[in-house]
Structure 1
Amino acid sequence: MIENVRHVPGVCKCKNGEEFSEGLIDRLSGLPDEILLSILWTLTLKEAATTSLLSKRWKHLWRYYPVLKFEDFAAMESMGDITRPIVEGKSKFVAHVNHALKQHMGSTIDELSVIFDLDDSYKSHIDKWVLYAFEKHVKRIELNLEPPWVHEKLQVWYNNITIIYPERVHYTLPYIKSPHNLASLRSLCLRNVNISSDDVQMFLQSCRLLEVLCVARSDFLTSIRSTSGFSLMLERLEIAYCPKLEAIDVCAPKLRSFSYDGKTIKLHITKASFLSEVHIGGERGVVIAPMYESLSTYFPKLKYLSLEMSLVKKLNLEASHVPVLTRVEHLRLFFFSGSFQTLLGWTSLVEACPVLQKLTLEFRPQGLVKSPKPPALKSCGRPLRYLRTLELVDFIGWKNDLELAYFVLENAISLQEVIVDLRPRPYINYSEGAQQRLKLLQNKIPEGVKLIIKETYPAPPPPFP
């Protein structure tokens, strides 16, 4: 039974439009602070702040909100035109974060997340945000400072399109004077943030509870190593596109997910007996086999395997030294390829997954789209007995991606659905005509198999006020 229930004057309207006051029972405000805060935790920071209008009891409650997430996808979208950077939008975002942190009154912070296009010119502000979070013994921190065009830059590069991007210097993480403030940190994700190998080492040694480490596009990182005799608590390790990185050498007994994108490096992970998800992606001109083969010890236990590769210069044309993948349920293959290069050299990897349930094929082309000559269906000696879902992302309908899809359709005897992703990509026009070429695929889909076509993206969340 809730005590101290207060009656709050409300305003109602009659049918004739006249207003009158009515006694309303405010039961929520009579709840303990712990319960009210648990309600706030289900809201975004913006939504939590609006609760200050409910009553005097709620006015300052949101200031103790432990999850501080700052993002503005609408403003990021407006800055998508790289020839016209919008400084005003960035300044407004920075002012918003500064104001929110100034208003915050909690003794601790569970999470600080900043997702916005910012570089080193805003270092003084970002430093204050980061150091404030560490002083509050933050558990999870994410700085995703990627510009809205970063992924399109990679796409057009592989598509032989030249676009001039503005020069920028990545934000550099500040020096941490008091590592003991990091004891509560469980997750650290940094994208377009410079961090040195020594700083990574400091985090690994000081944050004994650290479970997630993600670093992408750091210009300073040269290696990630765990000291001799020191086992990491990491469950997820994700490293991407760090140009100076030479080696990853860690002992991680609790590691469950590992992801790497970039140039060829020395890769040595030991005692990862729980590892079940692996992603390996190579830059243009990189042979990926040596990297994924270095993890072959763990392949019999994997449930998810993702490989990204470029087939330029006749590299990565087939799966060499096909591993044993007895437990893989989801296989993802991502190809950068011209229309003349066959992808059937990778069917042996598909066949090496006896319990495969989902196959995702992504194809990023090089050159101009040509009218394909429909390939013939090919059957293998070992049917894909358990495959339920075939997903085709960035479907074009060239001969090479069609023949790989046809291979699956012919051999997946339990197939239930085919998902085709036709959603447009910025700066890329290769999808023109894909709808027409989709008919070639539709004609080969067995009766009873559901076809799902994705053509639009979900709407982004609203901006901050």
Structure 2
Amino acid sequence: MSSTSENVDDRLSMLPEDILSRILSLMPTKYAVGTSVLSKRWRYTWTSVTNLDFDYTRRSPNMITLKFVDGNEEKFTKFVDRVLKFCKTSHLNSFRLHISSSGVSQSSILNWIDNAVRLNVRELDVCVIQSELPLSLFTCKTLTDLRLEPSDCDLKRWEFPSTIYLPCLKTLDIFLCDNPLAIQGCCPVLESLSLNVSCYVEQDFILNIPTLKRLNLLCISIYDDDNRKIILRLPKLEYLFVDGELCSLFEMEDVSSLVEASISCSACSFDFMWADILNKLRGVQKLTIANFRFTSPLPIFPNMKQLELNGTWESGQITQFLESCPELKILCIDSVDVAERVFKKQKPEESKLIPACMLTNLTSIKISKCWGDTCDIEFLEYMLGNAQVLKSVTIFALENLLIEDDPWFCAQVLKFPRASPHCEIRFRSWKLPQSQESEYSDISEYSDKSEYSDSDEAEAL
């Protein structure tokens, strides 16, 4: 055993320095530094790591990052100071700094970020209790990814200087920023932008970034005034996500490149404004919608291939979407509401009332949370009986509906007539949380005991 251990140790120690530093860079910083006690050979190997991760938070203890408990701010500060003092890499790939304690001085945080910039950092992730940032950060020539987030419940906003130029920045995530528009024209290759804007403005919010491909707008609050607008001048935009309390109309100039969009509506928002956004998104191929309750007719989406409806949806709303998406191929629904029942089996002479997508394009349906009630049964019977090119229906049913001794739900669904002879039905289970709260848990993992398909039909009956 001793000889084998020595051989393994020798073999590892004989690896080239750049290989060893790459291996240590994949480890949490705490453990990478800990290798210095192994032998003289390893004493300073960690100083060449290219990824640094410092975490002083109260988050889950399962996180495999450097952590300290309350009262150890001084120990944490000394550790970070020591690592940065001895770090000899000339190009830092990533630097992550998450601190939820106000006991760590702001001067130390500023110094650490400044050191990361001096080490030519490429990816910087900062989550701390403060609003000030070193000026060197905003002129960093190597930075490609930047994420700024206030820690925990800190409501301070990031302050940007008047001089900003980040020539290599491609991804920018900002949470709570006083002047988010200051970045315009300062990041010539920016492709992805996430803004969490929690400020009130008295003028139009104009975003003009010619290179941008992905945009996430979160929690935008603007004065309740119809004269205020959110104007997007993003000719290369491919993905758009909008969420929050919207009190202003959208204007999107030249969105012909837009492929995918996702909108989630706050209860405080005006329905007609979200309907206006939908009207601007007519050309997308994939659309995800959550918490949307519309009263006006939906626009036609001539290019829509995939639709995801998150949350609980009334059957009448689902029908409207089907009628508005003639090219729809994939439909994903969280759950169907029991409040309204409009799904009926169509007679041959009424086939013209069936949405066009169900006759020619719809091939896949997924229901994430099926309760097995009357509305679910009617919806499934309607879709199976009228979708003529359907290939697969995946149903994540409440666990007790798939009990092996009494699979009544599966048996009933498998007996429904199918308009498509090639349609396969798959059953999976999802579980309520142990607390039995009204919030439902995510889909559980597949298991043989709760999985049924057409091949199981004989046994199920």
Interval of TM-score (by shorter of Structure 1 and Structure 2): 0.5 to 0.7
User: Is the 8 Å Cα contact of residues 277 and 304 (structure 1) preserved in structure 2?
Assistant: yes
- After TM superposition, give the deviation of residue 306 of structure 1 in Å: 0.9
Partner of 1:203: 183
CA distance 1:242–1:397, shift in 2 (3 Å):
farther
1:443 corresponds, among 412, 417, 420, to 412
Structure 2 counterpart of 1:183:
167
Equivalent in the alignment of 1:346: 318
Matched position secondary structure for 1:209: coil
TM-score (structure 2 length as normaliser): 0.63
5+ residue gaps, structure 2, are: 130-151, 432-442, 446-461
3-state SS of paired residue (2:240) = strand
Q: CA deviation at 1:266?
A: 2.5
Match of 2:333?
A: 361
Q: C-alpha deviations, 1:383-409, integer Å up to 9, x for none?
A: 264444433334445555665555444
The aligned amino acid for 2:182 is M
State the SS of the aligned residue for 1:26.
helix
Deviation at 1:332, TM superposition (A): 1.0
Secondary structure at 1:179 match in 2? coil
Q: Choose the corresponding residue for 1:284, options 258, 267, 291.
A: 267
Q: Following the alignment from structure 1 to structure 2, what is the Cα–Cα distance between the partners of residues 95 and 203?
A: 36
| 2: CA distance, partners of 1:329 / 1:92 | 54
Deviation at 1:122, TM superposition (A): 7.2
The 5 A counterparts of 1:141-180 are 141-142=124-125, 168-176=153-161, 179-180=164-165
Residue type at the aligned position of 1:201: L
Change (3 A) 1:321 1:23: closer
CA deviations over 1:238-270 (Å, ceiling 9, x no partner): 112233476432322222211001123322232
The correspondence for 1:254, drawn from 228, 236, 244, is: 236
**Structure 2 Cα separation of the partners of residues 416 and 94 of structure 1:** 59
1-structure distance, mates of 2:235, 2:289? 23
CA distance in 2: counterparts of 1:391 and 1:244, whole angstroms: 37
Per-residue displacement from partner, 1:181-233 (whole Å, max 9, x unpaired)? x433322224xx4211x2x12223322232222133x4336488557xx5432
Shift, 1:31, TM fit: 2.4
Instruction: Give the Cα–Cα distance (whole angstroms) in 2 for the partners of residues 95 and 402 of structure 1.
Output: 61
Structure 2 partner of 1:331: 307
Q: Does the 8 A contact of 2:98 with 2:126 survive in 1?
A: yes
Q: 1:31 aligns with which of 7, 16, 25?
A: 16
1:84-99 equivalence runs, <5 A: 99=79
In the alignment, structure 1 residue 239 sits paired with structure 2 residue 217: yes
2:250 to 264, 267, 273: 267
Q: Which residue of 2 aligns with 1:391?
A: 366
Q: State the partner residue of 1:415.
A: 391
SS at match of 2:302: coil
CA deviation after TM superposition for structure 1 residue 92, in Å: 6.5
Q: Which residue of 2 aligns with 1:452?
A: 428
> 2:282 pairs with 279, 299, 303, which one?
299
Deviation of the 1:62 alpha carbon? 4.0
How far the C-alpha of 1:281 sits from its partner, in A, is 1.5
Quick one: which amino acid aligns to residue 31 of structure 1? Answer: P
Aligned mates of 1:385, 1:52 — CA distance in 2: 65
For residues 243 and 119 of structure 2, what CA distance do their matches in structure 1 show? 33
Q: 1:169 to 1:31 in 2, by over 3 A?
A: closer
Q: 1:292 to 1:375 in 2, by over 3 A?
A: closer
8 Å CA contact 1:67–1:112 kept in 2: the answer is: yes
Distance in 2, matches of 1:142 and 1:127, equals 14
Alignment RMSD: 4.9
Aligned counterparts of 2:396 and 2:111: Cα–Cα separation in 1 = 45
Shift of 1:294: 3.9
1:324 shift after superposition: 2.3
Amino acid at match of 1:263: E
- Name the CA shift for 1:107/1:32 in 2 (closer, same or farther; >3 Å): closer
Q: Displacement of 1:381 after TM fit?
A: 4.7
Contact 1:141 1:187 in 2 (8 A): no
1:287–1:224 distance in 2 versus 1, CA, 3 Å: closer
Task: State the Cα distance separating 1:352 from its structure 2 match.
Answer: 3.6
Q: Percent identity?
A: 17
Shift of 1:305: 0.6
Sort the Cα spacing of 1:336 and 1:345 in 2 relative to 1 into closer, same or farther, 3 A: closer
Specify the alignment match of 2:132 in structure 1.
none
Q: CA–CA distance in 2 between the matches of 1:138 and 1:224?
A: 35
* TM-score in terms of structure 1 length: 0.63
Alignment-mate amino acid for residue 444 of structure 1: V
Counterpart of 1:99 in 2: which secondary structure?
helix
Give matches, 1:97-116, under 5 Å.
99-100=79-80, 102-104=82-84, 105=87, 106-113=89-96
Bigger Rg over Cα: 2
Contact 1:248 1:266 in 2 (8 A): yes
Partner of 2:173, secondary structure, is strand
Q: Aligned partner of 2:234: which letter?
A: A
Secondary structure, aligned partner of 1:345: helix
- Which structure has more RCO (C-alpha within 8 Å, separation ≥ 6)? 1
SS in 1 for 2:413: coil
**8 A contact 1:256–1:276 mirrored in 2:** yes
One-letter amino acid of the structure 1 residue matched with residue 315 of structure 2: L
